[in-house]
Structures are given as structure tokens and as C-alpha cells.
Amino acid sequence: MEEDIDTRKINSSFLRDHSYATEADIISTVEFNHTGELLATGDKGGRVVIFQREQESKNQPHRRGEYNVYSTFQSHEPEFDYLKSLEIEEKINKIRWLPQQNAAYFLLSTNDKTVKLWKVSERDKRPEGYNLKDEDGRLRDPSMITTLRVPVLRPMDLMVEATPRRVFANAHTYHINSISVNSDYETYMSADDLRINLWNFEITNQSFNIVDIKPANMEELTEVITAAEFHPHHCNTFVYSSSKGTIRLCDMRASALCDRHSKFFEEPEDPSNRSFFSEIISSISDVKFSHSGRYIMTRDYLTVKVWDLNMENRPIETYQVHDYLRSKLCSLYENDCIFDKFECVWNGSDSVIMTGSYNNFFRMFDRNTKRDVTLEASRENSKPRAILKPRKVCVGGKRRKDEISVDSLDFSKKILHTAWHPSENIIAVAATNNLYIFQDKVN
């Protein structure tokens, strides 16, 4: 089935290309903004790189809207918690954009402990003709000033500057795994392993704790929060997923502390699949609302599931991402791959879902036609502007010519982070330290 699909994708750019892989360059999050004009990436070194889509021009139709670097800044630095003798990694765990309300762009970026609000703005004019200081900025002697003039704005080369506008610190004891902007655009939440806090963008020294699952005795700990997201339209509703494979939907109108859920989504475990690693592979690594707000999608180690908010006892759709790994769980446990946290994304119309896998493969599932495809993000196997060829993993028996066998998969090449343009068929795929952007083929 996979090989029949014409994917019609162009590999349009290879950005942040390095022949060596330094750990700091490993991309840790990818996110389009609400219009799709900007694409932000965060990496393990604490940097944020923002790409901007070129305006389409009639002169160069084949360069339809390519993404180029727009701004780069250091968002987080490594820190040291002296009280606990712990190093705090600068790795950017998540980036979330705020909707644009003026000429500047705003985004939230977070590491394990601190969330920051960044303002990214353009400057293309510069004031000249100050009275009290000269062009170099040195103060002039007031006694030397004989005339007064009005400073004027003169054009300059475009400069994009990023400034930290708010720093939301010291609210999380455990590692932050998610941030989510509320649809009221006034608040957002940050979630760590055991708690979720609600913030107001204007207030940095306080946050409300809305979920706390820390047990009184830590020895009774059985699950942690793995991801959380606000409903796209209802500002009182959010979901959070757990390491036990459950999702809870909470309503902030019900009580101040949302420890008691309004809805509880859980699929009963299939006892025939029980293994040493059942708990690990059922841990949910990502949860995403559909754009419609009607569905949620969850990713665990081997599957992607789509849930209807109105049905709590089982998902409405389950997609096997790489079920051939089920017999390899032991080795994947040994090399720590079983702990990889894959993300999942919806397309703009909620008809296709996408998630990553190993060997630089990523998978797309069409919910309507029930067709799926495996594609590869790699330079060796596709040239720019070439159409991506569907890939297939051979599970056993005879391997056909273009197939790859499970044992030859490269587990160090994993695609954990992907993003889909909010309205067009443009996807961004992070493969270790490389970012690939794919578009639908023109005509």
C-alpha cells in the first residue's frame, strides 16, 4: 500500500547543515507560528533559530515560499542549582508562539526549569541627530551645544532583534515537559512531572498551581505527567497525559485545583501483549488537540491514537507506527531508545497525522483514506527538489529491493520532532541536528 502513494513532496531546503554532529546542535523542538510565516527551532545548546518564509514572487515561481533564517538568539544558558547541586540543562524543551497582535512576534521558550517570553521585532530605521550625544553615542558637553535639532528616523539595514520580555522562574521543582498558550491569550500553562502551573503573561512572580499529582509519600509514586495542552477554543479546558497511558481532561471552572478530572481517557491493556516493558511503551510522550478541538491525539512508543473527546473508554483510531519494534524491546531498553519521546502533529484540516520513527523515517497517516506512508529525511537518499520516495521496512522473510530490514535500521537517527504548517502542506522535520522542510509539489 505504501508504495502506491504518490507523495508529491519536494525537499526544498537543507538548513543548519553540519557534517559533524555536535550535541549542542541537536534540535529539540520545532514549531510553526499561527500563520505559518515563521518556523522556530530550539536546540540542546539553548539556542532558538527562527526561519521566515520568503514572499512568493512571480519572477521565481520555483522558489515558492522558502524558509530562510530570520533570527538567532541564545534563549537559555546552563545553570547550576546550588541548593541541590544539580546542573540545569539549557536544552530548549518546547517553543510555543503567541498569536501576533502587533508588528512584533512573541514566543515562549522553556528549558527544564524556566520559561521565557521573547519578543522578536524588526528594526529598519534608526534615529539620528540627537542633541545630547553624538553619532557614536558619546555624551556631548552641554556647554558645547549651541543649537537644538529634532532627531529624525533614517532607514537602516533590517535588523531583527530578540529581547527577553518576561522570565518565569522558580515555579517548578521537576522538569518542565510542556507549555501551552491559552486561547484567551492572557494565560499559559507549564507542566512538569508532577505539577501544572497557570501563568499570566504579565505576572512573573506568581503562578497558580492547577494540577498536583505528587503523592504525600513519594514512595507511592506511580505515574507522572508527560504532556499537557490547552483546548484550542475553550479557555477553561485542558488535557494532560500520564506515564500510565491515560489522558485526563480538566475544567478549570470546576475547582481551583484540577486534581479531579472531568474526563478520563484510558484504553484497557491487552493482556496478550504484556511484557517487562508494557509500562514503558504505554507511557504517552505527546498529546495534541486537533484544530477543531473535537479530538485529541496521543503518541506512545509504538502507536499513535486518536481519541474522541466524547468517548473515554477507548480511542477511535489506532495507528501502528513501527510495530516491528515490539520484538526488539529488550535491545531498545538496553540502548535507551525505548525512552525516546516522539511527538505527533495534525495537519491543518485534521485529516492527516504525522509522527517520527527511527532511521530518519517519519510516518503520515491519512485518517480518511486510511492510507499511510513512510518517508525518509536524509540527504543521501534524496536530492533537493526531488520527490520523496516512500520507504518500507521489511519485517521478515524476503527483503525486496528497496526495502530495509529491521536490523539495519539506524536507531541513532531518530525523528522526534516534527511540525506541520497550520494551513498548507508544508512540514518541518528535525533529524538530529538537521532541519528538513518539505512542501507539496508545485503543479
Partner 1 sequence: MLRGRRRMEGALDAQSLISISLRKIHSSRTQRGGIKLHKNLLVSYVLRNARQLYLSERYAELYRRPPPPHAPYPPPAAPLAGPPELGPLPPGAEEQPPGPMPRGCGLPEPPVLLPPPHDPAPLELPGAPPQPPSPCRDSAPGFYRSGGCAYPALPGHCSGRTTVLDLDTHVVTTVENGYLAPDCCSQCPCCCPPAPGTKRKYYPGPGEEDDEDEDEPAAGGGAAAGVGVAPCPKRARFEELSPEPPPDASNISNLISIFGSGFTGLVSRQQADSEHGQLCSKQALASLGAWTRAIVAF
Residues of this chain that bind partner 1 (CB under 8 A): 81, 84, 86-89, 91, 112, 173-175, 177, 193-194, 214, 217-224, 226, 243, 274-280, 283, 327, 329-331, 333-334, 336, 339
CA distance 90 to 110: 9
Output 110 or 283, the one with its CB closest to partner 1. Answer: 283
Amino acid identity of residue 290, one-letter, is: S
Strands 404-405 and 393-394, by their bridges, are: parallel
Output 87 or 134, the one with its CB closest to partner 1. Answer: 87
Output 5 or 213, the one with its CB closest to partner 1. Answer: 213
Shortest distance in whole angstroms from residue 108 CB to partner 1: 20
Cell, residue 322: 513501527
Shortest distance in whole angstroms from residue 191 CB to partner 1: 12
Shortest distance in whole angstroms from residue 28 CB to partner 1: 12
Shortest distance in whole angstroms from residue 219 CB to partner 1: 5
For 334, which DSSP code?
H
CA distance 118 to 108: 6
CA distance 337 to 413: 11
**Judging by beta carbons within 10 Å of its beta carbon (0-12, 13-18, 19+), is residue 46 exposed, middle or buried?**
buried
H/E element, 180: strand 178-181
Place of cell 520532532: 417
Output 91 or 367, the one with its CB closest to partner 1. Answer: 91
Shortest distance in whole angstroms from residue 284 CB to partner 1: 11
Exposure b/e, 71-101, CB count within 10 A at least 16 = b: bebebbeebeeeeeeeebbbbbbbbbbbeee
Would you report the helix, strand and coil content of the chain in percent, each value rounded to 5?
A: 10, 40, 50
- Kindly provide the residue ranges of all beta strands, DSSP E only, lying in 322-413, ordered along the sequence: 344-346, 352-356, 361-366, 372-376, 393-394, 404-405
Shortest distance in whole angstroms from residue 162 CB to partner 1: 24
Output 86 or 257, the one with its CB closest to partner 1. Answer: 86
Shortest distance in whole angstroms from residue 214 CB to partner 1: 8
Shortest distance in whole angstroms from residue 23 CB to partner 1: 10
Can you list the pairs that 40-44 forms with residues at least 24 positions away whose Cβ atoms lie under 8 Å? Answer: 40/95, 40/97, 40/107, 41/16, 41/95, 41/428, 41/430, 41/435, 42/75, 42/91, 42/92, 42/93, 42/94, 42/95, 42/109, 43/91, 43/92, 43/433, 44/89, 44/90, 44/91, 44/92
Amino acid identity of residue 94, one-letter, is: K
133 has which bridge partners? Answer: 139
Output 60 or 275, the one with its CB closest to partner 1. Answer: 275
414 has which bridge partners? Answer: 358
Output 130 or 333, the one with its CB closest to partner 1. Answer: 333
CB 382, CB 12: distance < 8 Å: no
Shortest distance in whole angstroms from residue 245 CB to partner 1: 12
Output 157 or 407, the one with its CB closest to partner 1. Answer: 407
Closest CA to 413 of 12, 3, 26, 123: 26
Output 274 or 383, the one with its CB closest to partner 1. Answer: 274
Output 113 or 417, the one with its CB closest to partner 1. Answer: 113
CA distance 12 to 59: 18
Output 80 or 185, the one with its CB closest to partner 1. Answer: 80
